[in-house]
Chain A
Amino acid sequence: MIPFDYAAPATVEEAVALLAEKNGQAKILAGGTDILVQLREGLRRAELVVDVKKIPELTDLNYSPETGLVLGAAVPCYRIYENAAVAAAYPALADATRIVGGWQIQSRASVGGNLCNASPAGDTIPPLIVYDVVCRIAGPKGLREVSAAEFCAAPGRNVLEPGELLISLAFPPVAPHSGSAYQRFIPRNEMDIAVAGAASWVQLDPAGKTIEKARIALAAVSPKPVYAEEASVWLAGKPANEESFAHAGELAKKVAVPIDDMRGTREYRVHLASVLTRRTLADAVKRAT
Chain B
Amino acid sequence: MDKRAEATDTPEYKVIGTRPVRHDGADKVTGRAIYGADVHLTGMAHSRILRSPHPHARIKSIDTSEAEKIPGVLAVLTAADFPELEDKIAHLGEGSVNLAFLAANCVAKDKALYRGHAVAAVAAVSPHAADEAVKRIKVEYEPLPATTWVLDAMKDDAPLLHENLRTDEMGEKGDKPSNVASHLHFETGDVEKGFAEADVVIEREFRTASVHQGYIEPHVATALWNEDGRLKIWTSTQGSFTCRQQTAELLQMPISHVTVVPCEIGGGFGGKIAVYLEPVAALLSRKCGRPVKIIMQRNEVFEGTGPTPGSFVRVKLGAKKDGRLTAGQAWLAYDAGAYPGGMIGPGCMCVFSCYELPHALVDGYDVCLNKPKTQAYRAPGATQAAFACESVVDELADALGIDPFDFRLKNAAKEGTRRVDGPIYPRIGLIETLEAARNSEHWKSPLEGENRGRGMAAGFWFNVGLKSSVSAHVNPDGTVKLLEGSTDIGGTRASVAMQLAETLGIAAEDVHPIVADTDSVGYTDVTGGSRVTFATGMAAYEAGLDIRRQMAERAALLWECDANDVTIEGDDYSANGNSMTFREIAANLHETGGAVVGRATVAPEGSTNGFGCHIVDVEVDPETGKVTILRYTAAQDAGKAIHPSYVEGQMQGGAVQGIGWALNEEYFFDNQGAMRNASFLDYRMPTCLDVPMIDTIIVEVPNPAHPYGVRGVGETPIVPPPAALANAIYNATGVRMRELPMSPPRLWKAMAEKAGSRE
Contact = CB atoms under 8 A, between A and B. Distances in A.
Given A268-B745, A275-B623, A188 B676 contact: no
Which applies to chain B's interface (DSSP): helix, strand, loop or mixed?
Answer: loop
Interface stretch (A12-20, A167-175, A223-231, A257-265): A257-265
B676 A189 contact: no
A191 B664 contact: no
A43 to B, nearest CB: 13
Interface string A182-205: 000101111111010000000000
Interface stretch (B361-369, B477-485, B679-687): B679-687
A262 B676 contact: yes
Interface in B670-705: 676-677, 680-682, 684, 686-687, 689-690
A94 interface: no
Nearest to B625: A268
B745 A192 contact: no
Contacts of A268: 744-745, 748-749
Contacts of B626: 185, 187
B443 interface: no
Given A264-B745, A265-B745, A268-B745, A187 B684 contact: yes
A271 B623 CA distance: 9
A281 B745 CA distance: 23
A261 B676 contact: yes
Interface string B586-626: 00000000000000000000000000000000000001101
A193 B681 contact: yes
A155 B624 CA distance: 25
A70 interface: no
Interface in A19-54: none
Nearest to B132: A2
Interface string B734-759: 00000000011100110000000000
A207 interface: no
A188 B684 contact: yes
A67 to B, nearest CB: 38
A195 B682 CA distance: 11
Contacts of A262: 668, 676-677, 682
A1 interface: yes
A272 interface: yes
Contact of B743 (A187, A261, A267): A187
Contacts of A190: 687, 689
B489 to A, nearest CB: 25
Nearest to B666: A262
Contacts of A189: 687, 689-690
Contacts of A264: 744-745
B173 interface: no
A260 B151 CA distance: 23
B687 to A, nearest CB: 5
A255 to B, nearest CB: 20
Interface in B627-682: 663-664, 668, 676-677, 680-682
Contact of B681 (A185, A192, A195, A267): A192
Contacts of B677: 262
Contacts of B745: 264-265, 268
Contact of B689 (A185, A188, A272): A188
Contacts of B748: 268, 271
B686 A188 contact: yes
A185 B686 CA distance: 16
Nearest to B664: A187
B88 interface: no
Nearest to B626: A187
B3 interface: no
Nearest to B624: A185
A192 B681 CA distance: 6
Interface in A244-289: 261-265, 267-268, 271-272, 275
B296 to A, nearest CB: 15
B230 interface: no
Contacts of B743: 187
A93 to B, nearest CB: 22
A188 B624 contact: no
B193 interface: no
Nearest to B748: A268
Nearest to A196: B624
Interface in B126-150: 128, 131
Interface in B202-255: none
A220 to B, nearest CB: 13
Contacts of B668: 262
Contacts of B128: 1
B687 A188 contact: yes
A82 B656 CA distance: 33
A93 B682 CA distance: 25
Contacts of A265: 745
B632 to A, nearest CB: 15
A1 B130 CA distance: 11
Contacts of A267: 749
Contacts of B623: 275
Nearest to A102: B687
Contacts of B689: 188-190
Contacts of A272: 624
Contact of B682 (A185, A263, A275): A263
A267 B624 CA distance: 12
Q: Which of A187, A189, A190, A272 has the most CB of B within 10 A?
A: A187
A193 to B, nearest CB: 7
Nearest to B675: A262
Nearest to A268: B745
Nearest to A276: B624
Interface string B100-136: 0000000000000000000000000000100100000
Contacts of B681: 191-193
A170 to B, nearest CB: 32
B141 to A, nearest CB: 20
A275 B622 CA distance: 11
A256 to B, nearest CB: 15
A141 to B, nearest CB: 38
Contacts of A187: 626, 663-664, 684, 743-744
A67 B626 CA distance: 41
A195 B744 CA distance: 11
A198 to B, nearest CB: 13
Nearest to A274: B623
Nearest to A261: B676
A265 B680 CA distance: 20
Nearest to B682: A262
B682 A191 contact: no
Nearest to B667: A262
Contacts of B676: 261-262
Interface string A50-74: 0000000000000000000000000
B673 to A, nearest CB: 14
Contacts of B687: 188-191
Given A268-B748, A271-B748, A188 B682 contact: no
B302 to A, nearest CB: 12
Contact of B684 (A1, A192, A261, A271): A192
A2 to B, nearest CB: 8
Contacts of B686: 188
A275 B681 CA distance: 24
A68 to B, nearest CB: 34
A239 B353 CA distance: 60
Given A262-B676, A264-B744, 16 more contacts: A1-B128, A185-B624, A185-B626, A185-B744, A187-B664, A188-B664, A188-B684, A188-B687, A188-B690, A189-B687, A191-B681, A191-B687, A193-B682, A262-B668, A268-B745, A268-B748
The 10 closest A-B pairs by CB, nearest first: A262-B668, A189-B689, A268-B745, A262-B677, A262-B676, A275-B623, A190-B689, A187-B664, A188-B690, A187-B744
Interface of A: 1, 185, 187-193, 195, 261-265, 267-268, 271-272, 275
10 contacts: A1-B131, A185-B744, A189-B687, A191-B680, A193-B681, A262-B676, A262-B682, A265-B745, A268-B745, A275-B623
